[in-house]
Amino acid sequence: RRRLLATAGATGLVLGAAGGAVGYAAAPAGATPLTSLGADRAMFHGKHQPGITEGLQARGHLVAFDLAAGASRKEAAALLRRWSTTAQRLMAGEAAAQDDTDVARDAGPSSLTITFGFGNSFFSRTGLEKQRPASLDPLPDFSSDQLDKARSNGDLWVQIGADDALVAFHALRTIQKDAGSAAKVRWQMNGFNRTPGATAHPMTARNLMGQLDGTRNPKPTESDFDKRIFVPASGSADPAWMANGSYAVVRRIRMLLDDWEKLSTGAQENVVGRRKSNGAPLSGGGETTAMDLEKTDAKGALVVPINAHARIARPDQNGGAAMLRRPFSYHDGIAADGTPDAGLLFVCWQADPLRGFVTVQRKLDRGDALSTYIRHEASGLFAVPGGAAEGEYVGQRLLE
């Protein structure tokens, strides 16, 4: 009854399992088979954890946990084992191991990914200080930060993404129940992206400012991709348990949409340095045309303004600093002042956060044109170990 179909995703191989999700009752005879969207499946086991190089999913939940007082390395290891079992089952479209809530019944895995990380505070709580990577040193303060500490950092972090809202919620609820008495939720955020298939052909995603966002992301086909995004298996200053892992920087960035939307399209384009319609650099061409940083207009002014976001954030302006941006948009309703509580759950991945996020954010913090229209409201930095091999749980190399 199980049909496997391989679809080449934007950045990796996704396997689809259709014809009745294993673990739930088989679909009744004559039932409509799952569409490819429901059947699409990412793999739990592998060199890297899922949820890093896969294409953006339509729904996302970010959740951080703190270990319960008195919970030790032993409880943490048991929790990561439970979470890994859940991730493996749910990503295959199976029911949870215990007391499944039926919320995802009838749907396939819908490209579900579940990704686990450790925050700085995890290591002192579990007596593992010697294993704490130097890259987990707290991020520096930036002058424009307006961070809510209660919604920042945490001992453990879980990123959930799926192309179906019920599948994503089901995973979130199961992960939370698995925590039991070992850990409690510290903060939780909900995000979304455009649903795959909504555009006539695959396109770079748009954010809530209406810009194409992700154009210049490093691509897995580039020769330096792995070096930029993943900790090497050997020869780095990172502890051995981080081999093939990555560091995730999470920023909840509020967009001041009432102010932004008052700008003309031309003014908005000057803020970023790219056209809204197709993401092309203001210096000309299409989305993938190289930006001409020197080009001037008839009056001698730079065509891509000196403070344009996409000029300042470029690796060649930051000693090569690069990161893989894999965000979700968010909308949490209307704030007390009547403005939309909406923006970007900015998640970026890199082998070294000091060389990636920190270098670029220091530069943007000096005042890129976008800074006027955004506000960083929460922050997290997490060490995301490599993927689990068959029979292993995520983080086993740290916790055993």
- Cα–Cα distance measured from residue 274 to residue 211, given in angstroms and rounded to the nearest whole number: 9
Q: Do 106 and 161 meet the contact criterion of CB atoms below 8 Å apart?
A: no
Q: Which residue stretch of 81-89, 136-144, 206-214, 231-239 sits at the interface with ligand HEM (rule: CB under 6 A)?
A: 206-214
Reported as half-sphere exposure (CB side, CA atoms, 13 A), residue 107 has a value of: 23
Contact between 308 and ligand HEM per CB under 6 A: no
178 is catalytic: no
Contact between 139 and ligand HEM per CB under 6 A: no
Contact between 274 and ligand HEM per CB under 6 A: yes
The angle subtended at Cα 342 by Cα 336 and Cα 345, nearest 5°, is: 130
With respect to ligand HEM, which residue has the nearer C-beta, 109 or 273?
273
Contact between 252 and ligand HEM per CB under 6 A: no
Count of residues of this chain found to bind ligand HEM when the rule CB under 6 A is applied? 27
Site string for ligand HEM, 317-346 (x = CB under 6 A): --------------------------xx-x
Nearest distance from C-beta of residue 33 to ligand HEM, angstroms? 36
Nearest distance from C-beta of residue 52 to ligand HEM, angstroms? 16
Burial of residue 243 (number of CB atoms within 10 Å: 0-12, 13-18, 19+): middle
Binding test (CB under 6 A) with ligand HEM, winner from 175, 374, 381, 384: 374
With respect to ligand HEM, which residue has the nearer C-beta, 67 or 303?
303
Residue 15 φ then ψ, to 5°? -105, 135
Torsion, Cα of 154, 158, 163, 166 (10° steps): -90
Query: Which amino acid does the sequence have at 207?
Result: N
Nearest distance from C-beta of residue 8 to ligand HEM, angstroms? 22
Q: Do 227 and 323 meet the contact criterion of CB atoms below 8 Å apart?
A: no
Contact between 369 and ligand HEM per CB under 6 A: no
Q: In which element (H, E) is residue 39 found? A: helix 36-39
Q: In which element (H, E) is residue 360 found? A: helix 359-365
The tokens for 125 are 């709580």
Nearest distance from C-beta of residue 229 to ligand HEM, angstroms? 13
Torsion, Cα of 389, 394, 397, 400 (10° steps): -120
C-beta atoms surrounding 264 within 10 Å: 8
Nearest distance from C-beta of residue 319 to ligand HEM, angstroms? 13
Length of the chain: 400
Binding test (CB under 6 A) with ligand HEM, winner from 94, 213, 238, 269: 213
Binding test (CB under 6 A) with ligand HEM, winner from 214, 239, 245, 305: 214
With respect to ligand HEM, which residue has the nearer C-beta, 76 or 139?
139
Q: Do 253 and 329 meet the contact criterion of CB atoms below 8 Å apart?
A: no
Q: In which element (H, E) is residue 362 found? A: helix 359-365
Contact between 351 and ligand HEM per CB under 6 A: no
With respect to ligand HEM, which residue has the nearer C-beta, 55 or 109?
55
Binding test (CB under 6 A) with ligand HEM, winner from 310, 378, 384, 388: 310
Q: Do 287 and 279 meet the contact criterion of CB atoms below 8 Å apart?
A: yes
Nearest distance from C-beta of residue 160 to ligand HEM, angstroms? 21
Contact between 361 and ligand HEM per CB under 6 A: yes
Binding test (CB under 6 A) with ligand HEM, winner from 89, 275, 314, 397: 314
With respect to ligand HEM, which residue has the nearer C-beta, 82 or 275?
275
Q: In which element (H, E) is residue 250 found? A: strand 246-255
Give the active site residue among 100, 213, 238, 352: 213
Q: Do 167 and 107 meet the contact criterion of CB atoms below 8 Å apart?
A: yes
Positions that interact with ligand HEM (CB under 6 A): 207, 209, 211-216, 251, 253, 255, 272, 274, 309-310, 313-315, 343-344, 346, 357, 360-361, 364, 370, 374
Active-site positions read 213
